[in-house]
Structure 1
Amino acid sequence: MTLWSPKGTTSAASGPTTLTVNDTSSVNQTTAVAAKVVPSVVTISAESGQSAGTGSGVILTADGYVVTNTHVVTLDGATADATLKVTTSDGHIYDATVVGTDPTYDLAVIKLTGASGLTPITFGDSSKLNVGDQTIAVGAPLGLSNTVTNGIVSALNRSIEIASSAPSSSGSSGGDTQQGQQSPFQFDFGQGQTQTSTTSTIKISVIQTDAAINPGNSGGALVDSSGQLIGINVAIAGTGSSTSGTQSGNIGVGFSIPSDIVKRITDELIQNGKATHGLLGASVQDSANVTGATISGAYVADVTSGGPAAAAGLQKGDIITEFNGQPVTGAVDLTAEVRALAAGAKASLTYVRDGASHTVDVTLGSLS
């Protein structure tokens, strides 16, 4: 039976509509967490013309606001008006409409029509995570609803660059730029189409986990040992050839958008239909690619006159090593951290100039 194709799930195996527990006298921690979280996770089907795909979502409110990825509701950027159907863990099916998308961080909020009495997820604090903490992923990989996998936090302060899922590849232009960068990985967006080249990319801060995440898990929950949301699953690293046409699967390297970022962006999407993002006003590149550089970081190649970076005193040739308490090892790190904050946010920034380290405060501009 074919479970996926280059354009998404074409024939899905039937599965349980609720979490199955056969022996209540022998329930482990993962079972208990899954029982708490599964009712808060939904399966999303998106269709537009001959294209279709499945993904996951997480319930935010009892009346049907749900967070997922932009690439789920746009079919990897192919359409801005896909028809959405949402199935809850107990088998109820709802129509849904898009409240707002945020292609810059690949998040979206949809609203279920006529929903009430749903079970919202409980948010955790992703800033307090440790490498090695238990993680549990809940979603619909390959259309298999109510699937539960577990693992650990494999890495924190990770940043990745992936293809934009904005329709017409509008992406995140009109802001800070990054020179000479190419993502070392191929990322599968979960709709069954592996995107390996694009004229528009986004840079996002993520939690890395080895909990099994596969196409269709996109938009689903990554929770901690208490069942609190710590991330929204967004991408996986793949080993397949960019020209093979085969679909990437789990290799133990999955990525989730931290819940603290998710909370800020979804609140803005629900309130305003769009989210804001910070702008530094600088062109940067990896210092490792700069002749003579002796420290890793984001090398400032140019500073926009009158912009936030210039106001903070940054100059061409500075190497940014830390942003708002997070280490910066290259241009992707810096861009991801800047975009994670709202327009107008204040942050601290550490840079090295002529061998001396300096820390300054910066007030971010607004990404257009």
Structure 2
Amino acid sequence: MGIDRRFALGAVPAVAVAGGLAATLLLGGTSTSVSAQSGAQMTTEQRDTATSLQGAFMKIADTVGPATVFITVKTDLPGGNLMFSPFGGGEAPGDDSGSPFGGDPFAPGAPFRRSQPNSPGGRTVTNSGSGVIVRPDGYILTNDHVVARAKNGMVTVQMSDGTEYIGKIYRDQRSDLAVVKITAGKPLPFVSFADSSRLRVGQWAIAIGSPFGEQNTMTAGIVSALNRKSSIGNGGDARYYPELIQTDASINPGNSGGPLLNIDGQMIGVNVAIESPSGTSSGIGFAIPANTAKSIMTQLIEKGKVVRGSLGIVPQDIPVKVRQKFGTDQGAYVFQVRPDTPAEKAGIVAGDVITQFNTTKITNEVTLRDAISTSAPGSTATIQVLRLGGKTAKVAAILTGQNEEVAAAPAPVPIPRRSNSLGFDPRPLTSELASTLRLPPSSKGLVVFAVTPGSPAADAELAQGMVITAVDNKTVNTVPALNAAIAAVKSGDVITFSVLLRDPDGGKPSQAVVNITIP
């Protein structure tokens, strides 16, 4: 809608405590000040409540402030006339730092950034962000995007008293979390984890960090929502945020990696991003839940890396328009199956709905991803699937350690257009076309030669180069068979196409599904 939904790190809420605290009311465009002295006097009970809350905030500042650190990262960039905004408003020409705060419309918050003068070999850029000490022996939790481009894998950590240490980093790009280890020679103040699974909307949320380099800044708000999700990038470069905490506590670029706390001073999340039209706080901030952060942190400390199981699929929540076909909205919809993966070998196909993974009931994409990623590579998973027509199946898959990926869309094939009632042009898959599309010669089906913009097919993201192999689980190899299958579906109902997605590198194609509403 013309709004730049740039993720930066989120907004200054006006928090009013009941009982006579000064407030401003906007009535019919007129600003009217109301104070305790112009209305009812604050009662002793109200004052005690306000004082108690104030004391809780002050205690958090005293205890968590010293455990929140300022991280600076030096990065060497190639030479050139580069300009950098300290607000992270976009990537500069030639910047390959990988900061996700740039042009992506839904990107995580960047660290605060300052550039150094040009040198003959290029330019040194100093990024800064926040971190939180989580163990007294010098382990610090932060965001991966804060430390991702550190020279020699080392960063500078400044304590609240100004003491500086050199820290070694251990990264996990996929979760956007990292651990920094410093050696202080003494026990350090640290923050304990809350159980983020018990969070409720409306609870206090307090952020501490270094927005725009202003160290140990503390702001307060509430938990605005739970289980927000986003992902940035594709394949091995992807960062995945499956269940973000949303808050209106004020966080800005530079808050990245700092703690989000409950009223008891326990960490409920790691601040990671805001959604904003300007790149600065607008009242919608996000944090990675403490339980997720603790799990990733433990693996980084114990193993130096995060080991995840993989099934080889691209899951999603069950699309609204196909829920009626399955008679449920509970489960994870298999949008794509990668070739030669545990899922393909176990007989899972695109269009299946996974309802159980080992003993875990699967209710949506997030629960499935969590179940897979927390399973060890090499372990055998028992998986319950639901298929079109109400059939169920139980399969066993031996998980690998490869990351799940979202395949790139097939490259367009320049050919003349001619459309059917759904707005696409199907042609029989000949051996010549199979060769052109880098598909195995034995591939069968119908090639999508062209898609009309604005058509039902285009709206459903059917794309040139996809190969249709089945309609509602029935094999189709000819255009008449496809047209007959389409004609048999009533207006307003959904038809499910099983398709093959070609591998741009010439490997085996992936299975996927496309759901189109019949006009």
The question of a shared fold, defined as TM-score above 0.5 by the shorter chain, is answered with: yes
Give SS of 1:211's match: coil
Distance 2:292 2:178 in 1: 12
Distance 2:66 2:193 in 1: 15
Letter of the 1:152 partner, please give it: I
Partner of 2:251: 213
Q: 1:250 to 1:95 in 2, by over 3 A?
A: same
Instruction: State which of 184, 191, 194 in structure 2 corresponds to 1:121.
Output: 191
Contact 1:157 1:326 (C-alpha < 8 Å) held by counterparts: no
Distance 1:347 1:229 in 2: 33
Q: 1:339 to 1:151 in 2, by over 3 A?
A: farther
Instruction: State which of 134, 138, 142 in structure 2 corresponds to 1:60.
Output: 134
Q: Is 1:106 aligned to residue 172 of structure 2?
A: no
Letter of the 1:354 partner, please give it: L
Partner of 1:315: 349
Root-mean-square deviation (Å): 3.5
Contact 1:94 1:115 (C-alpha < 8 Å) held by counterparts: no
Moved more, 224-233 or 308-317: 308-317
Q: 1:292 to 1:239 in 2, by over 3 A?
A: same
Alignment of 1:1-368 (within 5 A): 27-49=54-76, 50-74=124-148, 78=149, 81=152, 83-98=154-169, 100-163=170-233, 172-173=235-236, 200-205=237-242, 206-240=244-278, 248-284=279-315, 287-288=318-319, 298-304=332-338, 307-309=341-343, 314-320=348-354, 324=360, 327-328=363-364, 333=366, 337=370, 341-344=374-377, 352-354=386-388, 356=390, 365-368=400-403
Q: 1:172 to 1:303 in 2, by over 3 A?
A: closer
Q: 1:288 to 1:363 in 2, by over 3 A?
A: same
Unaligned runs of 5+ in 2: 1-7, 9-50, 77-123, 404-519
Give SS of 2:141's match: strand
Distance 2:363 2:206 in 1: 26
Q: 1:130 to 1:254 in 2, by over 3 A?
A: same
C-alpha displacement at 1:348, in angstroms? 8.8
Q: 1:211 to 1:134 in 2, by over 3 A?
A: same
Distance 2:177 2:271 in 1: 10
C-alpha displacement at 1:336, in angstroms? 5.4
Give SS of 1:366's match: coil
Give SS of 2:257's match: coil
Distance 1:207 1:215 in 2: 17
Partner of 2:38: none
C-alpha displacement at 1:117, in angstroms? 2.2
Q: 1:230 to 1:26 in 2, by over 3 A?
A: closer
Distance 1:348 1:223 in 2: 38
Contact 1:47 1:82 (C-alpha < 8 Å) held by counterparts: no
Q: 1:115 to 1:204 in 2, by over 3 A?
A: farther
Figure out how many residues of one structure are paired with residues of the other and give that number. Answer: 299
Give SS of 1:67's match: strand
Task: Compare CA radii of gyration and give the structure with the larger one.
Answer: 2
Letter of the 1:214 partner, please give it: N
C-alpha displacement at 1:231, in angstroms? 1.0
Contact 1:43 1:54 (C-alpha < 8 Å) held by counterparts: yes
C-alpha displacement at 1:230, in angstroms? 1.3
Moved more, 337-346 or 111-120: 337-346
C-alpha displacement at 1:343, in angstroms? 3.3
Letter of the 1:39 partner, please give it: P
Partner of 1:182: none
Distance 1:129 1:359 in 2: 35
Contact 1:233 1:255 (C-alpha < 8 Å) held by counterparts: yes
Letter of the 1:252 partner, please give it: G
Greater RCO structure (CA 8 Å; 6+ sep): 1
Distance 1:150 1:113 in 2: 31
Distance 1:284 1:26 in 2: 44
Give SS of 1:279's match: coil
C-alpha displacement at 1:367, in angstroms? 3.0
TM-score (norm 1): 0.69
Q: 1:321 to 1:255 in 2, by over 3 A?
A: farther
Distance 2:372 2:249 in 1: 26
Identity, % of aligned positions = 38
Q: 1:45 to 1:210 in 2, by over 3 A?
A: same
Distance 2:206 2:372 in 1: 26
Contact 1:141 1:216 (C-alpha < 8 Å) held by counterparts: yes
Contact 2:201 2:223 (C-alpha < 8 Å) held by counterparts: yes
Give SS of 2:302's match: helix
C-alpha displacement at 1:311, in angstroms? 7.4
Distance 1:362 1:278 in 2: 11
C-alpha displacement at 1:290, in angstroms? 6.8
Unaligned runs of 5+ in 1: 1-7, 9-23, 164-170, 174-199, 241-247
TM-score (norm 2): 0.51
Write the deviation string for residues 15-46 of structure 1: whole angstroms up to 9, x where unpaired: xxxxxxxxx99943222223221121101011
Contact 1:343 1:367 (C-alpha < 8 Å) held by counterparts: no
Letter of the 2:387 partner, please give it: R
